[in-house]
Amino acid sequence: MVPLDITPILLSLIEGVLLAIFCGILASWGWLIVRLLERRPCLPPESLVERRPTPWGAGTILLVMLTYFVVSYEAFLQYHDATHPPAPVVKAPAQPDGKPAEAAPAKPEGAARGRRFLELSYAEMLAIQGTVNAVLLILLPGIARLTSGARPIDLGLTLRNGRRQIAVGIIAVLVLMPVVYIVQTASVWLLGLTPDQQKEFQHPIAKMLHAEFSPGIAILALLTAVVLAPAFEELLFRGFIQSWLVKSLGQILQPRPTPLEIVELPDPDLDLWEAIDEPSPQGTVPVETPPRSKTAAGAAIVLSSMIFAGLHADQWPAPIALFLLALGLGYVYERTGSLLAPICMHAVFNGFATLMLFLVALSPQSPEKEPAPNAVKPPTPVKQANQENHAKSPDAPSTPTLKK
């Protein structure tokens, strides 16, 4: 029985999804132009998620970042040590005079310990990173809960208005994607990177799919790039870092009252206080939170975007375009208060890039052109060297020359 080749089916599905994304981009830009011409807001005028002021401080952020680096670093090294045992030590034979051979001093492993992960394959590194992201998605909110009493809604995580949050994220990324890819293409062109240099700075997923493509590899790429990476990175950079920066910069930039603005309160009146203490028939009066500083929010978006792009520096010049993408993610998060919206934006962006890689990996490669039958093949290096030596020898026949 001939095995069924599902490659054409997969190619058709991928092309259909990519075509739907392209149509969504055109529709989103048309919607954006209409909204701008009508002078109507492109994002909801009110926050989709009402968050209280950020409860965590610098101590929680330091603990979160330390946990992220330690867990990631140790996960890679422990996996390497478990799957790549050290080579056995071979004892040198005894010397002829019967004395035992002196053992060579062992090389210190501390300097090379941090480079062990380079011996892993791209699939192994991606699987480890995905597992680390899944663990940190549970661990980091737990740390914030223990250190500051933070709840998921303080990060912007809630299913209330879930459809609107998802819709805002999808429309926003469809509008932003063409701009990001234009900046990426312009960066490559202006820097004059060769195809080999572009391959060197590719994302690990692209290198993994280029080296080997299989159903398991495809599922791993989708799971890590479309689900785990967007959820974790948005939780860390937008949920924790950007929210904390808005709070900290707001406290720094908040103007302090001048002596002229300080009003002295009159002496307390017992009858007045007794009247206030009585229950009001209209219910409790809501306490208004102070408005967020737009300057602090803008600076926080820029700083968190720079950190996000800097951690992707090994994929140069992608950080230039990723900085622009992070600005859009941070702006949507600040305006809507929803963490689900930037997660959807990040997931759609990564999903589009991953499907494009799938399309390249599954497309039939053009065969190399074979030389013509009568074409003269260039001599091999060995043959060319033999011809030169033969020409230099005194017994070599001289080439006749034509005389006029």
Position 96 pLDDT exceeds 80:
no
Q: Which residue has the higher pLDDT, 143 or 208?
A: 143
Given this model, what pLDDT does residue 103 score?
Answer: 52
Given this model, what pLDDT does residue 367 score?
Answer: 45
CA–CA separation, 398 and 394 (whole Å)? 9
Across 118-141, average pLDDT:
87
pTM: 0.75
Given this model, what pLDDT does residue 99 score?
Answer: 58
Across 29-54, average pLDDT:
89
Identify whether 266 is part of a domain: no
Across 382-400, average pLDDT:
49
pLDDT band at 399 (very low <50, low <70, confident <90, very high): very low
Across 128-155, average pLDDT:
92
Residue range(s) defining the domain that contains residue 194 = 7-46+161-253+293-362
Given this model, what pLDDT does residue 275 score?
Answer: 44
Given this model, what pLDDT does residue 358 score?
Answer: 87
pLDDT band at 326 (very low <50, low <70, confident <90, very high): very high
Given this model, what pLDDT does residue 112 score?
Answer: 53
Position 317 pLDDT exceeds 60:
yes
Q: Which residue has the higher pLDDT, 282 or 48?
A: 48
Identify whether 387 is part of a domain: no
Q: Report how many domains make up the chain.
A: 1
Q: Which residue has the higher pLDDT, 309 or 314?
A: 309
Identify whether 41 is part of a domain: yes
Q: Which residue has the higher pLDDT, 115 or 16?
A: 16
Given this model, what pLDDT does residue 286 score?
Answer: 43
Task: Enter the tokens of residue 119.
Answer: 């011996």
Position 371 pLDDT exceeds 50:
no
SS3 letters across the chain: CCCCCCHHHHHHHHHHHHHHHHHHHHHHHHHHHHHHHCCCCCCCCCCCCCCCCCCCCHHHHHHHHHHHHHHHHHHHHHHHHHHCCCCCCCCCCCCCCCCCCCCCCCCCCCCCHHHHHHHCCHHHHHHHHHHHHHHHHHHHHHHHHHHHCCCHHHHCCCCCCHHHHHHHHHHHHHHHHHHHHHHHHHHHHHHCCCHHHHHHCCCHHHHHHHHCCCHHHHHHHHHHHHHHHHHHHHHHHHHHHHHHHHHHHHHHHCCCCCHHHCCCCCCCCHHHHHHHHCCCCCCCCCCCCCCCCHHHHHHHHHHHHHHHHHCCHHHCCHHHHHHHHHHHHHHHHHHHCCCHHHHHHHHHHHHHHHHHHHHHHHCCCCCCCCCCCCCCCCCCHHHHHHHHHHHHCCCCCCCCCCCC
Across 8-22, average pLDDT:
90
Position 303 pLDDT exceeds 80:
yes
Which of 69-78, 111-120, 331-340 is least confident?
Answer: 111-120
Rg over CA atoms, the chain? 32
Q: Is 39 left (phi over 0), alpha (psi -120 to 50) or beta?
A: left
Which of 110-114, 180-184, 256-260 is least confident?
Answer: 110-114
- Closest to 193 (Cα-Cα) out of 355, 320, 367: 320
pLDDT band at 386 (very low <50, low <70, confident <90, very high): low
Q: How many CB atoms lie within 10 A of CB 214?
A: 11
Given this model, what pLDDT does residue 131 score?
Answer: 93
Across 150-165, average pLDDT:
90
| Most confidently predicted of 38-52, 116-130, 250-264, 288-302 | 38-52
Q: Which residue has the higher pLDDT, 302 or 374?
A: 302
Identify whether 212 is part of a domain: yes
CA–CA separation, 355 and 333 (whole Å)? 26
Across 324-351, average pLDDT:
94
Position 51 pLDDT exceeds 80:
yes
Which of 252-261, 341-350, 385-394 is least confident?
Answer: 385-394
Given this model, what pLDDT does residue 404 score?
Answer: 40
Q: Which residue has the higher pLDDT, 3 or 147?
A: 147
Give pLDDT tens digits for 248-263: 998 887 766 555 555 5
- Closest to 170 (Cα-Cα) out of 298, 322, 336: 336
Given this model, what pLDDT does residue 375 score?
Answer: 47
Position 368 pLDDT exceeds 90:
no
Say if CB 217 and CB 208 are below 8 A apart. Answer: yes
Across 79-104, average pLDDT:
62
Give pLDDT tens digits for 220-257: 889 999 999 999 999 999 999 999 999 999 888 776 65
What rounded mean pLDDT belongs to the chain?
77
Given this model, what pLDDT does residue 277 score?
Answer: 42
